[in-house]
Amino acid sequence: MAGPRTGLLDPLIISRLGSLDLIARTLVEGFLVGLHRSPYHGFSVEFAEYRQYIPGEPTAHIDWRVYAKTDRHYIRVFHQETNLHARLLLDVSASMAQAAHGGKDHLTKLEYAKLLTAALCYLLIKQNDATGLVTFDRRPLQIVPPRSSRRQLMHLLSLLERVQPGEQTDVGEVLGTLAERMWRRGLVVVISDLIDDPDRVLTGLKHFRHREHEVIVFHVLDPREVDLRFSQEARFIDPEQQLDPIRAQPWHLREAYVAEVEAWRGRLARECQQHQIDYVPLTTDTAFDRALLAYLNKRAKLG
Amino acid sequence: MQFLSPMYLFGLLAAGIPILLHFLSRRRPVDIQFGPLRFLRPTQERQMRRLSLRRLLLLLLRVTIICLVVMAAARPTLTGGLARLAPTGHATSVVVLVDASASMQAQLQRGTMFDRARTEVAAIVGQLSGQDEVAVALFSDVVRPLFSEFVRDGQLVLAQLQEARPDDRATDYVTALSGALDLLEKAGSPYREIFVVSDFQEAAADSVRLARLHERLRQSPGTTVLLRAVKPEPFVNRQVADVERPATLLRAGETAEVAVQVRQDGDADLPVQLFLQVGDATVGETELQLAAHGTRRHGFPLTLPAAGDLAGSARLRPDRYPPDDERFFVLPVSQRVNVMVLAGLGAGDGERDPLLFLRAGLDPGESGEGDFALEVVPAERMDVTHLQQTRVVVGTDIIDLGAARLAALTDYLKAGGTMLLLCGDPGVRAYTNEKLLPSWTAARLGPFRNGREGTQRLIVSARDHPVFTGFEDDELATLEEVELRNYYPLPETVGRSLVRFADGGAAILEVEVGLGRVILCGFHTAATAGNLPYSPMFLPLMQRLAGYLATAGWSRYGRQAEVGSSLAAEAPPGMNPGAVLEVRLPDGATVPATLNATVTPPRLELALAEVPGAYTFLVDHKPWALCAVNVPGSESVRRFQEPEAFRKQYGGGDAARVTALAGDSAAEAVRQARRGYGIHRWLLALAGILLVIESLVARRVGAANAAAVLLLVLR
C-alpha cells in the first residue's frame, strides 16, 4: 500500500535530506499526515496540549467547548506512560552494505535499513514507547536499552548515523542470543536481509516468540537480489567471503533464481505467519509507508 | 567423395571465424557483490552446464553450416556406398579407355584378357543413361578411338568393340589419359568421366609427361577417372627375353654364336624347349631346365652363309602369353666395311705418322681380306660422296676441315653416322676445341701432356661396353699396361668414358651426336705418343672400336626395333631414283616404303611397324635390308599395379578424383561410383535446416543470430 504522498516517502529522495533526525521526522510526519487519522494511543492519562483537528480523524477527542469558544476544532492530546518496550534489531553485516545495482542512485540495504530504523525510532518514541536498538552481524555489536525519552531518540539517531558495515552474518545465532537476554516482553523489530540458513533464522525468530515477544521482521533485499535483472556477464562475489565467486550470465539463471528466492521468501512468510510473526518483505526501492503501515498495524494490535 | 571445384575448399578456413568469435566474445565479466549467492549456486551449476552445452552446440552448428556451404560451393559428388542414396539425372560425357596393349593378349580359362575387358566395357556402357554420351578408345602406347565423336547408342559401341583386337605395343597410361582428355574437349557435358579398363600392368611413365598430365587433370575440374581392373589369371610365363648377337662384324663362312636368354616366372623349376630358326628352317633346338624365376642363356653356334642380312627367331612352345614366346633377330653378314680415314697432321712423317699404325691396326697386312676396306682421304679433300659410301669415319689429328666439309660431316653424324676421332698432336687442340667438337658435343680436349710429367697408364672403365665384352681379364690387363707420353685428357662427365688415364681424365670417350655417335680418343697412334702401337692389344682395340661403330647407329645391320616404332635402312649407294621401294611385312604382304633423301646417306623408311617379325626392305622387288621387330619386353613383366598406387601415380594432386571400381560386378561398382549429382543442393538444404536450428539455439543462449548474418553475407 502506497501512501498518498509517496514522493516524500521514496527512499532515495528521503535519503538526500541530510541528517537522520530530519529524515525521520519528515518521513514519519509525512506518512502520518497521509493517513488522515492519528495512529497514537493512550489519550487518557495526562493532558499535554491541544492540537488542530485534521479532517478524517476520529471525532471522539474533539474538545467541543473549545469549539464553542473559538469556532475551531481542537483535539486534546495527552501524555501517556507507555508499557511497550520496543527493540529494533538492525543487521549491519557485510551483505547489508552492498547495493547489487552499484552506483549512487541506489541505496544499499544498510542505508535503507538505517532510514527505516530511524523512522521507526522516531515513531516509537514520539508515542512514548521505550525504544532500544541492537546492531549485529555475527554477534551483537551495539546494544542500546529501551527508553522513551526525547534524548533517547537523539541518541539512537546519532548511533545510527555512525553505524558501519560489520562482518559475516549469523542471524540465527544472534537472534537466539538476544532472545535469551531480553527477559522483558515487548516488541522486537528485526531489520535484516536474513541471508543465513533459513532454519536457523526461523529458530531465532521463534525463540522471541517463545519468550512471548511480539515480532515484526522487515526483510530487506536489493531489488536485483529479487529479480536478478543484470544484463552483463558477471562474477558474483559473496560480500561476506563465505562462498566462492560464481561466474554466470544472469539472464540464463534468472528464472530459476527468482523461483529459488520466491520459495525462500515464501517459506519465511509462511512459517512467520504460523508463529504470529509479522513478516514484511521489502526491497530498497520500496516506499517506506509500506513498512511503517505494517508497523502501525502491529502496534495497533498491541493496544 | 570428390569435388569438382576443389579450390573452393580453401573456404573451409572460414570455419575458423565462429571459433574465433566464440573465444573473443568471452569478455571479462563485471564483479558484483551479491548477498544471496547461496541461491545462485545450484542454479548456476545446472544452468551453466546446460549453457556450455548449448554454446558448444551453437559453435558446432555454425562451423558445420560454414563447412557445408563451402563444400557445396566445391561441387561435391558422392562415390562409394553412400552414392546409391543419391539420385542421378544429369547428362555425362564418358570416355571408356580399353587397354589393348600386348599384355591383354594373355589367355584366360575362357578367352583372353581383352575379351574380359570387352565384358567389363559392356557392363559400364550398360550403366549409362540415355542422355549420356560415350566414346570408346583402345590404348596401348597410342590411343585409337573407335568413333570420331561421342555417340549415345551403347549397342553400336559394343558392336564396334567386338571388331577390335589388341595390338602388340607397350602400355602408356599417360598417353591414354591424355588422349581421353583430348576426346573430352569435344564433350557436351560439364560432367565428364574417364573409365580405364585395363590389367594395370606396370609401365614406365616419364616424369615430365606425367607432370603435364597432372596439370591437365587439374584444369579439368569436372572430370573424374574411374579405374576398372581386369583381373589376370595366374600362370607361369615363359619368354625369350633376349637374343644376343655377336658384337663384332660377322663375315660369311664364319661361325658365330647367337645367345638366347630364356626366362620363366614360376615358383618351381621348369623345363623349356628352345628352337632357333633362320629363314624357314629350324637350325637349333635344345631343352633347358629353368630354375624358379630363373633366366638361362644358351648359345647356338651358327655358320654364317653368304654376305647379307640373315633373319631368324628364337622361340619357345607357346604358353598363355604367346607374344613373348618368339623373338626375332637379324644377323648382319658382311664382306668388308668401308672405312674412310681422314688424314690430318703428321701424315707421312715416319714414326710420327699416326696413319702408319692406324692402317696396320684396321687392316693388318693390308691383305684386303680384313673386315675393313680403308680409304685414306686427306681431310681437306673430303666430300659428300665419300661420306655416302662409308660406314665409319676415322679421323686422326684433323685440322682445317673447312666449313662446308665440317657441316657435311656434322650432318652425316647427326643422321646416324659414326666416327672415331683420334687427337694426339699438340697442334690440333685449337681447331678441335674451337671448330670440330663444338659442332658435336660439349666435350673438349684438356691441356696437352707432352711426357715431361712422365708416362700415363690406361684403365678400362667400362668393361661391360660392347668394345670390351669378350676380352679376357689378362687381355684387358695387357691393355692397361700401355703407357702414353703424349695425350690429351678428356672430360669424364660428358658422354661415357670407356678408358681413362690413371691420374684422371678420359682417354677414350663415347658421345652421341644426334642419331650417330663419335668415339673420341685423347691420343693418336703414332709411335712417339707411347707404346700403344706395340701392345698386343692395339690391333684388337682398333678392330673392336671400328667394328662397334660399324654396327652402331642407324646402320641397316643389326637393326632391332619394337612394335610401334618406325623402321629405316640405308639406301643402296647409287640407287636409281625411280626404283620401286617396298617393305615386305611379316605376314608376306608388301607395303610401300619411302625414301628420305634429306639425310646423308639417304634412307629407306617405314613409318610404323605394327606387328612383330622380320621386315624386308625391297628395292626394285629385290631384298635389300632386313629389320627385326619384337613385342616390347615391358609387356612380359606381368607385374600389376594396385589401383590405389595407380590412382596416386596418375592422379597426382587430384588423386581424389581417381576412383577404383572394386567388386566382382562391374555394373554394381559403376552404379555406385557414378551417382552423386545434386549433393551440393543437399548440403545447402542441410545448411538451411541447421541455420534454423542455429537461430533457435542462439535465442536460447542469448547470442546474436549468426544465421541472419550469414544469410546477409551470402546474399
Average pLDDT taken over every residue of chain B: 84
- Only one residue has cell 551403347, namely B154
Instruction: Give the tens place of pLDDT for each residue, A270-284.
Output: 999 898 888 988 888
Pairing of strands B308-316, B270-278: antiparallel
Q: Given a cut of 60, is residue B81 above it in pLDDT?
A: no
Q: Given a cut of 70, is residue B713 above it in pLDDT?
A: no
Q: Sorting pLDDT into bands at 50, 70 and 90, what band is B499?
A: very high
Percent of chain A predicted with pLDDT > 90: 10
What is the pLDDT at residue B709?
66
Q: Given a cut of 50, is residue A2 above it in pLDDT?
A: no
Spell out which residues of chain A touch residue B41, defining contact as CB-CB under 8 Å: 243, 246
Quote the cell numbers at residue B710.
Answer: 550469414
What is the pLDDT at residue B710?
58
Name the more confident of B470 and B465.
B465
Percent of chain B predicted with pLDDT > 90: 27
In terms of Cβ atoms closer than 10 Å to its own Cβ (0-12, 13-18, 19+), residue A235 is middle
Q: Given a cut of 70, is residue B489 above it in pLDDT?
A: yes
Name the residue facing B35 among A193, A234, A235 (closest C-beta): A193
What is the pLDDT at residue B714?
59
Contact of B389 with chain A, judged by CB distance below 8 Å, is answered with no
What is the pLDDT at residue B593?
93
Written as one letter, the residue type at B97 is L
> Among B64-78, B279-293, B503-517, where is mean pLDDT lowest?
B64-78
Interface touch B40/A249, C-beta < 8 Å = no
What does the alpha-carbon distance between residue B323 and residue B316 come to, in Å, rounded to a whole number? 11
What is the pLDDT at residue B704?
63
Name the more confident of B347 and A130.
A130
Q: Given a cut of 90, is residue B363 above it in pLDDT?
A: no
Residues facing B569 on adjacent strands:
B604
Contact of A133 with chain B, judged by CB distance below 8 Å, is answered with no
Interface touch B30/A193, C-beta < 8 Å = no
Q: Could you tell me if B679 and B78 are in contact, meaning their C-beta atoms sit under 8 angstroms apart?
A: yes
Minimum CA–CA partner of B26 in chain A: A233
> Among A33-37, A182-186, A265-269, B61-65, where is mean pLDDT lowest?
A33-37
Contact of A233 with chain B, judged by CB distance below 8 Å, is answered with yes
How far does the CA of residue B47 sit from the closest CA of chain A (Å)?
A: 6
What is the pLDDT at residue B490?
95
Q: How many CB atoms lie within 10 A of CB B425?
A: 26
Q: Given a cut of 50, is residue A3 above it in pLDDT?
A: no
Name the more confident of B22 and B104.
B104
Instruction: Give the tens place of pLDDT for each residue, B302-343.
Output: 888 777 778 899 999 888 898 899 999 888 777 678 889 998
What is the pLDDT at residue A36?
45
Q: Given a cut of 60, is residue B553 above it in pLDDT?
A: no
Interface touch A235/B47, C-beta < 8 Å = no
pTM of the shown model: 0.51
Contact of B43 with chain A, judged by CB distance below 8 Å, is answered with yes
What is the pLDDT at residue B297?
92
What is the pLDDT at residue A18?
61
What does the alpha-carbon distance between residue A108 and residue A99 come to, in Å, rounded to a whole number? 4
Pairing of strands B581-584, B613-619: antiparallel
Q: Sorting pLDDT into bands at 50, 70 and 90, what band is A7?
A: very low
Written as one letter, the residue type at B637 is V
What is the pLDDT at residue A34?
55
Spell out which residues of chain A touch residue B32, defining contact as CB-CB under 8 Å: 100, 102, 230, 234-237
Name the residue facing B43 among A96, A193, A253 (closest C-beta): A253
Residues facing B144 on adjacent strands:
B138
Q: Given a cut of 90, is residue A148 above it in pLDDT?
A: no
Q: Sorting pLDDT into bands at 50, 70 and 90, what band is B501?
A: very high
Q: Sorting pLDDT into bands at 50, 70 and 90, what band is B558?
A: very low
Mean pLDDT of B228-254: 82
ipTM above 0.85, yes or no: no
How far does the CA of residue B56 sit from the closest CA of chain A (Å)?
A: 15
Q: Given a cut of 90, is residue A266 above it in pLDDT?
A: yes
Mean pLDDT of B593-622: 87
Name the residue facing B32 among A236, A243, A252 (closest C-beta): A236
